[in-house]
Chains A and B, each alone.
Chain A
Amino acid sequence: MLQNLDLGKIKHFLSHTTLFSDLRHIDDQIYESESILKTSLPVLAIITFVLLLSVILTGQNQYTTLVLISLSLLFVEYILATRGYVIIASYAVSLTPAVMISYSYANYIDFNDEISLFFAFWLAIFFSALFLPRIHYLISLIITFVIIIFTLQVIEGFTIAHYIENFDLIFSFVLVVMFATALFFGRHLMANLLLIEIDKKNKANIALIEKSKSIEKARSEAETASKNKSMFLASVSHELRTPLNGIINFSGFVKSGKFGDVAPQHTHMLERIHDSGYELLKLINNVLDSSKIASDSFVLFYEDDVIIDDLFDGFDQVQNFKFNNSLGQAIADADISFALRGIDEAYPLLNLDADRIRQALFEVLMLCFYYTTSGSVCVDVSQSASNRLSIRIEDSSGDILNSITPDLFDLKNLTTGEIVFHIGLGLSIAKEIIELHGGTIDYLHGPKGNIFQIELPVFKERLS
């Protein structure tokens, strides 16, 4: 039962107290005290009965009340201790017999009531100090001596001869037996109190262990669920990619004339099959990326010495992007101009995962083109004052995204409708990619439309 508790600390504490300093096997002592306590009340009752008998037989009736009060108090202390009021009981155990003994002694030698109480108080502290670390015991011993000497010598004019003359064997016997009983009882009561505390802590530990097991079980179940989800998505991806291989490539072969001439009215439809296949493939890839992000397994593969032109390679041929706007128009067919500015400047070499950054930029661009039915989409590249690669993407889509801007990048906060409109997966992936590079992406709503401001700490000089 005790193996989960730090008994070393308890031993260490007890070994520094005056009363328990001789304890070398506190574990055994604690167990022993449990059985002793079970019989301590009858034992105390027998001792008290003997005391009562002795004081009655010897005519010292003034001690009867004292003994009964002491017994009652010890009983109350026992109840307190077993109910868990450990600290109160501990103090009571040490204070009560001390007060009673010293008060009776003070009365016995005919001190007046005030002096008796004063004397009793300091003696009680002296006894109490037995349960305190040694330094307190020494301090209280010195103070007690000073008080006793002051009381006896100065106030009461007490002398050694006076004490010898008043020596009473029965009274001394009562004092010694009561003190020994109190000490014996107190010592084992303290041990039992420790046992109760240990038991409490043990129960708390067991509860903690149970809770910990329950948390561990929940974590394990969550991990399994996450793993199953990843396996499911990987499996779905595999199963979807296999037929897509046929859809994309066969439509591509037919469209390119590998199987003969294609009627002009069929070309557009073949292109739609081909492009839709790629859109579906992109969606599958985004679902897989989202799954990786959710399971913290989304990783970057950094490349060294990437030049800025590589990062934006092909961006000038925007009509090649397979982007359609919300009216279903391809970029080339819609009245949208595209500008890529600032990549002609001299930039330091970059250290980044170029494919992933391009993916992030495409996601943002696709969103801008989706919502822009006329006007322009502009990408401005520059080196910021804080030595970051700054990319500002601005469109003229009006205020269509204004109502959902607070959660634009946060997939779990978007509604199903918002996710359907190309916002959810792509932007949350873009944000993850940029943040994994140590960068930031902010959304502003400009007078013409959306503005995405991306800052990336990817210049090699800064990193090295």
Chain B
Amino acid sequence: MTRSLTCIYFEDNADARLILEMIFPINDMILLVYEDSSIFFDKINCVEGEIACFILDIHISPHSGFEMLKMLRSKKEYHDIPIIALTASVTKDEVDLLRNAGFSGAMSKPVDVALFPQVVLRILEGENIWAIG
């Protein structure tokens, strides 16, 4: 049985979730969406297949994107998986915070549906991309 690549997306906004569901799959990568960040370790531990990346909304509860990033980076099994921020906050201060916190990249909302797959793939290849604008 082939193990599929999964991108896990935490997002509390229904429209944003639906838009990313419309964009995926990207190549063979499927999207798994969660609408809040409660017991998120329990959620991701249940994921079958290889986790390719995490896409985190920053303003999500109960754990913000920053808190989830910190917890994911502290776990050996998730430490090296790319984590992408998806945010509607586009000020330089906010982007600096994302960069300094240790995100692998960031994209702004509204999502550019044409650009989105390319950015995700490049981040998966190891680039740090800050597609904010």
A interface residues with partner B (beta carbon < 8 Å)? 230, 234, 237-239, 241-250, 252-253, 258, 277, 281, 285, 288, 292, 297, 299, 355
Contact of A237 among B16, B18, B90 (CB under 8 A): B90
Which residues of the other chain, B, contact A292 by a CB distance below 8 angstroms?
A: 92
| Residue B15 interfacial (CB < 8 Å) | yes
Minimum CB–CB distance for B94 against chain A, Å = 7
Q: Taking A253-B22, A277-B110 as contacts, is the C-beta distance between A246 and B15 under 8 angstroms?
A: yes
Which residues of the other chain, B, contact A277 by a CB distance below 8 angstroms?
A: 110
| Residue B73 interfacial (CB < 8 Å) | no
B interface residues with partner A (beta carbon < 8 Å)? 13, 15-16, 18-19, 22, 59, 87-94, 108-111, 113, 133
Cα–Cα distance between A249 and B86 once the two chains are bound (Å): 15
Which residues of the other chain, A, contact B111 by a CB distance below 8 angstroms?
A: 245, 249
Residue of B nearest to A355 (CB): B133
Which residues of the other chain, A, contact B19 by a CB distance below 8 angstroms?
A: 245-246, 249-250, 253
Q: Do the beta carbons of B13 and A285 come within 8 Å of each other?
A: no
Which residues of the other chain, A, contact B109 by a CB distance below 8 angstroms?
A: 241-242, 244-245
Which residues of the other chain, B, contact A288 by a CB distance below 8 angstroms?
A: 90-91
What are 15 sample pairs from A and B whose C-beta atoms fall under 8 A apart?
A234-B89, A237-B88, A237-B90, A238-B59, A241-B109, A241-B110, A242-B15, A244-B110, A245-B88, A245-B109, A246-B16, A246-B19, A249-B111, A253-B19, A297-B92
Q: Do the beta carbons of B22 and A241 come within 8 Å of each other?
A: no
Cα–Cα distance between A252 and B89 once the two chains are bound (Å): 22
Which residues of the other chain, B, contact A238 by a CB distance below 8 angstroms?
A: 59, 87-89
Describe A's contact surface by its main secondary structure.
helix
Q: Do the beta carbons of A242 and B91 come within 8 Å of each other?
A: no
Cα–Cα distance between A250 and B19 once the two chains are bound (Å): 7
Minimum CB–CB distance for B117 against chain A, Å = 14
Residue of B nearest to A243 (CB): B15
Q: Do the beta carbons of B16 and A245 come within 8 Å of each other?
A: yes
Which residues of the other chain, A, contact B133 by a CB distance below 8 angstroms?
A: 285, 355
Cα–Cα distance between A244 and B22 once the two chains are bound (Å): 16
Minimum CB–CB distance for A279 against chain B, Å = 12
Which residues of the other chain, A, contact B88 by a CB distance below 8 angstroms?
A: 237-239, 241-242, 245
Cα–Cα distance between A12 and B133 once the two chains are bound (Å): 64
Contact of A242 among B13, B22, B92, B94 (CB under 8 A): B13
Residue of B nearest to A246 (CB): B15
